[in-house]
Amino acid sequence: MNKKGFELSINMIVVIILSIVIIGFGIMIFNQIINKGYDLQTDLDKKTQDELDRLMDDGGLVVMPGPIQEANLGDYVYFPIGITNDFASQESFTITIVPQNDTPNWDLVFNHNHDIQSKGRVYLKIAIGVPDDYPLEEGQYGFIVEVKRQAQIYGNKKLVYVVIP
């Protein structure tokens, strides 16, 4: 048997295995970077969560700091919201968002239902996507945000605005 041919095939197998491992690590690192970027957009930062806590500590059942955001066509704006369950038992809360005017095609991204433990709090982000396929005029577009418990409005209605420059 030819030993040179045997050594060459073992070297080739080692190179293939190392290549697969390197490609695997590359894919893993790429996924971690993508997931970290996604987390930055969907999770609230510590400063925003502290602001929500401060507002809820002052007695707010439903709080939304920074109700005005500026966006261009096709962009998303994010509004933080904090909800406190002031009841003695776990309760289910529902969030609804309604545009104040009849502008179609706004992309409203949020979780509708939340179960919150007694005296517990939940911190969320509501995303509003500005349509890019509908001719919007410059101006301010309002949205009514309601949190309901058993079909009754919980806390106060909140108004948020998207400003198109």
25 shares a domain with 63: no
| 24/88 same-domain check | no
- Give the chain's mean pLDDT: 84
Q: What is the pLDDT of residue 20?
A: 93
Min mean pLDDT across 2-11, 82-91, 99-108, 144-153 is at 2-11
Quote the domain boundaries for residue 77: 46-164
**Closest CA relative to residue 146, chosen from 118, 122, 126:** 126
pLDDT at 40: 43
- Number of domains present in the structure of the chain: 2
pLDDT at 161 (0 to 100): 93
Say if pTM beats, i.e. exceeds, 0.85. Answer: no
Compute CA 53 distance to the chain's CA centroid, rounded to the nearest angstrom: 18
How far does Cα 84 stand from its chain's mean position?
A: 19
